[in-house]
Amino acid sequence: KYVTLDLTQNQEERLHKLHQRLEVPFDGSLLDHQEALRELWQAAFPDYDLHGLVSEKWKDMGWQGNDPSTDFRGGGF
């Protein structure tokens, strides 16, 4: 079942960009993907430095493991 939404032009554009991002698989070797994880970390844990991208503290944010890249599983970046 589909829901019809009355979106503004700006909302339509943002939704389109989100759909495009769903087609991009996460790649931990890409610097922009790594940087996005670092920004997410900084937003969640501003007083806790991240050393590398693997940490048990990711679980505190809701990730299944200590390496968030393993949780994407084709859901898109």
**Tokens matching residue 3:** 């829901």
| pLDDT tens per residue, range 18-41 | 889 888 888 888 999 999 999 999
CA–CA distance, 46 with 26 (Å, rounded to integer): 24
Rounded to whole angstroms, how far apart are CA atoms 34 and 40?
10
- pTM score: 0.71
Using the predicted structure, report yes or no on whether residue 4 has a pLDDT greater than 80.
yes
Q: Which of 45, 23, 2 is nearest to 37 (CA)?
A: 45
